Structure 1
Amino acid sequence: MSAYVVLLSIVALFALLIRGRTSPAVLFTIWAAGYYLTGLVDERKWLTSYSNPALVTLIVLLLVSLALERSPLLDRFAGVVLKGRPSLAILRLSVVTTVVSAFLNNTAVVGALLGVISRQRHLPASKLLIPLSYAAILGGITTLVGTSTNLVVNSFVIDAGLPPLGMFQFTAVGVPVALACIAVMVLGSRLLPAHEAASNENRQAYFLEAQVTAGSPLAGKSIEQNRLRSLDGLFLLEIERDGRLISPVGPDETLREGDVLVFTGEIEKVQALQQFSGLHVFGTRADTLLGSNLIEVVISNESMLPNRTLRDVDFRSQFDAGVVGIRRGDKRLAGQLGRIPLRVGDCLLLAVGADFAQHRNIDRNFHLLNGGLLRPKLTSNQSRIALSGFALAIALSALDVWPLLNGLLALLAVLLATRMLTINEMRRRFPFELLLIIGSALTIATALESSGAAQLVAHTMRSAFDGYGVTGAFIGVYLITLALTEVITNNAAAALAFPIALSTARAFDVDPMPFVMAVAYGASAGFLVPFGYQTHLMVMSPGRYRVTDFFKAGVPVSLTYSAVVLLLVPVFFPF
């Protein structure tokens, strides 16, 4: 009976993850605590899930990456690769990104190149940013440390009592997959939109919100009389008045006190509102806010802002900046912008104060599209020390001379001792949510095993694929994982699919390794929709992409990826 109850609870967890209103960290933690409180998992197993060796290795790796991502190496690469025809630029960018992402955190790689690509004028950014995100995924699947997903799967492997995965155990399959997919991206470069070239007049269009204040000289006059229709580069989309929207806005519409005006326009043109007294832009006087320096930022996956509105956040005191405008891909935003829940990947146009760069929470919450990194780059000597130390830790681990965790801890000590990394920076960027998700997922996996729920699913899969044998079951596990990663996060997909894969392998009495690899590669196969993978969300607004842009570009890549994985995994990891 408990097996069916656990399965129903997993279905509920899956539904809540898809809904997306509650963070995965909160949901996984609640479920893990629930399984402990109901006796499905004992106290020791519950607590040790959060100190799994592979999980600790992942956390230390991410902390070390905080220093590595400040190396000037990526900026130097970017200046060389972003030239020539789109197909050649995509090829060079994809190869460089894939190689770097094989060893550095892919979110950090995309974050470091995002501003450079958005600012360059050789090619439309929309031709390059989807390939950047895809290449970061492809580099991640070639080594153990290339993506957090591989380390997450390794934590499940160790927890299940299987031999830990090797540093380059993913390479034999990962490299051919990456090469095949890069070739497809280059050949399919025409599938990528060219938004800047096709619609230059609307490039970088933002939505901003201005309220007519009490006593404003604008009140009582029409749109035409207030000269709000003749603004160069700005267009009045709608008026929100007493809870209702007025759209389209006619020239004879008379403004009232309290009206909220929603404009769209280019970055360079938003300061046109500075001339109007009696207007507040996002709650701040227009003449004060728009007289500041304006910079563009993208909300990061580590930010505290997603699922909160600007009304909920004391933005000025948090960041010494005021929000001027919002941009979300190529999507039309409607209604009061201050009440729209923010998302990872949203672009914000900020008017920044003098102390903006000194605020310690900037790098955790935002990727800057202009103005460069707020944190100083490593010097050439520091960069050599950090990268050489990281390469040494990887090499010693690959040669079985010293465990990866030991090497990373030694490197972390060197980075702290030389001040290339500080305790305060580690505290600000510590991946608490990832720790909670993976630790809780290990507890959930234990509950699935101990309750018999995983075995029940495995027997169902064996019955479903009985006529196709173990190969059919292997393909089924891969497709289940792929489907999960397209609708929820990659790490959550791996967490839910791993117990099913392991139990399916045991039900067929075969080596579990090909099923483990099916989960690892399947959990990184998110190419079709932008919502399941954080780097896709990061590039969506700067590239002004629609969801359909990811689907068009992603279908050939996803099919190629899946075909090569399903062909090669059984060759290098026989049943």
Structure 2
Amino acid sequence: MSAYLVLASIGALLVLLVHGRISPAVLFSGWAVGYVIVGVVDEQAMLSSFSNPALITLLVLMLVSLALERSPLLERLSDALLRGREWRASLRLMGLTAGLSAFLNNTAVVGSLLGVISRQRHIPASRLLIPLSFASILGGITTLVGTSTNLVVNSFVVNAGLPALGMFQFTLVGLPVALLCLLGLLFSRRFLPAHQMQGEESTQPYFLEARLEDGSPLIGHSIEDNGLRRLNGLFLLEIARNDRLISPVSPDEVLEADDVLVFTGEVEKVQALQQFAGLQLFGNGVDRLLASNLVEVVVSNESELANRTLQEVDFRTMFNAGVVGIRRGGRRLYGTLGKIPLRVGDSLLLAVGPDFKQHRNLDRNFHLLSNSLQRPKLSVRQSLFAFGGFGVVIGLAALGLVPLLNGLLLLLAALLLTRILTVSELRRRFPFELMMVIGSALTVARALESSGAAQLVADAMRGFFNGYGVVGAFVGVYLITLLLTETVTNNAAAALAFPIGLSTAQGFGADPMPFIMAVAFGASACFMVPFGYQTHLMVYSPGRYRVMDYIKTGLPISLLYSAGVLVLVPLFFPF
């Protein structure tokens, strides 16, 4: 397979990643298997990609993080910080988040704080959640273990036969850049919306779906006659009838059996529908629904619900819960709820059965926002043991006394022996999709290198930046990576940009380290769209944001971040 065909196939992969209909795990796995079949890489090379020590380190770190994210210490500390003037509370929260994210998985940090911030009454959550997500990224860039992106880049470094990256090799650049951007966030956060807090009248409500049963007294009468126009806190937005959408709804519209009525309204106003006989909310009678617990959740980045509809997954059987509302940022969702493909970051309002919290798949699929239903937390003693053990592992690895992987494996064994973690929990939460993405991406990177496709791109860059030399090529690699991470995902951006950066460095006869750092920092430079980074998606709907909120807040941060990286990397990692 020629270099040009490999390059064309990578272009097709990039288009599909941007499209977003097929998961990155499926795409990278398919491309990796395809390259093995056509002989671009051999089977042994593909198998060795999945046994890469840096990849194993990342997987074990994710498993250890399962214990740390269950600690109540983060919630208690954050609630105490969110008091006083808004800018001071924001600064304290961002400082805590960045500090924790330097050593803990940033997705776990945001997931632990998301519910606390959404429920607190001191400051509107919309003023805090984007800064929370940004701060978690900025903290993550300061150490090797702070973000999966750095560990992914390290796996490519090891796979290329280069020395593994050190624990604090990122700190010389990452720490000043993080501090600069955190100060910038104090100013750019003024562009964030100040949505009213929960419990007050909401300007961005849920969308509730109700179906008319056969025999309902509402059938055969108009909207006006049935009194559906004058509901407390709810507004009839549209009617779905035999795959036809009626919107806007006329007061004279006569209802028919099996009509699906879509209301927009506040969470607590769903009781207004109780007065109507023969009305079901997504398969539940209204009386039964209102007798159950209403729980608000956010679809997690590990969820198997992503890109699938409620009907496809048989949501009710899976969780013993019915979905009565979906919210996606500040954007209106069209169509009936059961036919809407869910996305990571969607907020769902659930009517749950009595055994809902016993379902073992909750942690993998949801971040819980409602205070009425919280998963079991670690005790203070367990929390101190978990955090203390993690700190010892990081310290020993930083001093070069114990390899990071060995320390994490010992800590994982200790957590299992003390039953802070269980084998069933590890099985349930194992980051299988992340493993498939990175292992397959390592194979794709090998294909780019062995076929000469990466060298073609490097030659083109050398020609394009001929008048600017190695510095121009370094800037070009960073900008390519930044563009990729804003359009696909951070890990996919690192996978596609790394072989280009390495080949470019070799083409100029330069030290590869500044180009490796350009890829690592560029792959974490996602600040302007919510779709390229998992923590952005986690806060998207709870904050009721629009894409423009990310652009207005993130553009100044992206410029500061890029300026800091492009100036500092060549200073600390000369060509």
Shared fold per TM-score greater than 0.5 = yes
Q: Supply the AA of the counterpart residue of 1:9.
A: S
1:198 positional shift: 13
Q: C-alpha distance in 1, partners of 2:394/2:197?
A: 43
Runs of 4+ aligned structure 1 residues displaced above 6 Å come to: none
Q: Supply the AA of the counterpart residue of 1:59.
A: L
Aligned to 1:500: 500
1:292 positional shift: 0.9
Q: Supply the AA of the counterpart residue of 1:13.
A: L
Aligned to 1:574: 574
Aligned to 2:158: 158
Aligned to 1:131: 131
Q: Supply the AA of the counterpart residue of 2:502.
A: L
Q: In the alignment, is the contact (CA less than 8 A) between 1:211 and 1:259 conserved in 2?
A: yes
Aligned to 2:79: 79
1:273 positional shift: 1.3
1:80 positional shift: 1.8
Q: Percent identity at matched positions?
A: 70
TM-score (structure 1 length as normaliser): 0.98
Q: In the alignment, is the contact (CA less than 8 A) between 2:300 and 2:538 conserved in 1?
A: yes
Q: C-alpha distance in 1, partners of 2:2/2:374?
A: 52
SS in 2 for 1:331: coil
Check 1:197–1:367 CA distance in 2 against 1; reply closer, same or farther (3 A cut).
closer
> Is it true that 1:7 corresponds to 2:14 in the alignment?
no
Check 1:103–1:85 CA distance in 2 against 1; reply closer, same or farther (3 A cut).
same
CA offset digits 1:147-191 (Å, max 9, x no partner): 000000000000101110000001111111111111011122211
> Is it true that 1:509 corresponds to 2:502 in the alignment?
no
CA RMSD of aligned residues (A): 1.3
SS in 2 for 1:122: coil
Q: C-alpha distance in 2, partners of 1:199/1:191?
A: 24
Aligned to 1:212: 212
1:291 positional shift: 2.3
Check 1:199–1:472 CA distance in 2 against 1; reply closer, same or farther (3 A cut).
farther
Aligned to 1:481: 481
CA offset digits 1:257-302 (Å, max 9, x no partner): 1211110111110122122221121122222223211010000011
> Is it true that 1:260 corresponds to 2:265 in the alignment?
no
Query: Could you list the runs of 5+ residues in structure 2 that have no partner in the other structure?
Result: none
CA offset digits 1:65-113 (Å, max 9, x no partner): 0001111221122112212222212111110000000111111110111
Aligned to 1:318: 318
Q: C-alpha distance in 2, partners of 1:272/1:314?
A: 27
1:498 positional shift: 0.1
Q: In the alignment, is the contact (CA less than 8 A) between 1:363 and 1:374 conserved in 2?
A: no
1:199 positional shift: 12
1:373 positional shift: 6.5
Check 1:489–1:224 CA distance in 2 against 1; reply closer, same or farther (3 A cut).
same
Q: In the alignment, is the contact (CA less than 8 A) between 1:274 and 1:291 conserved in 2?
A: no
Aligned to 1:287: 287
Equivalent residues, number: 575
Q: C-alpha distance in 1, partners of 2:572/2:548?
A: 35
Q: Supply the AA of the counterpart residue of 1:465.
A: F
Aligned to 2:50: 50
Q: C-alpha distance in 1, partners of 2:29/2:552?
A: 36
Q: In the alignment, is the contact (CA less than 8 A) between 1:87 and 1:189 conserved in 2?
A: no
Aligned to 2:327: 327
Aligned to 1:104: 104
Q: C-alpha distance in 2, partners of 1:204/1:286?
A: 23
Q: In the alignment, is the contact (CA less than 8 A) between 2:234 and 2:270 conserved in 1?
A: yes
Query: Could you list the runs of 5+ residues in structure 1 that have no partner in the other structure?
Result: none
1:197 positional shift: 6.7
Q: C-alpha distance in 2, partners of 1:40/1:384?
A: 50
TM-score (structure 2 length as normaliser): 0.98
Q: C-alpha distance in 2, partners of 1:180/1:198?
A: 33
Q: C-alpha distance in 2, partners of 1:245/1:316?
A: 25
Aligned to 2:234: 234
Q: C-alpha distance in 1, partners of 2:335/2:354?
A: 31
Aligned to 2:399: 399
SS in 2 for 1:201: coil
Check 1:372–1:457 CA distance in 2 against 1; reply closer, same or farther (3 A cut).
farther
CA offset digits 1:188-228 (Å, max 9, x no partner): 22111112179953255100111112111110111122111
1:35 positional shift: 0.5
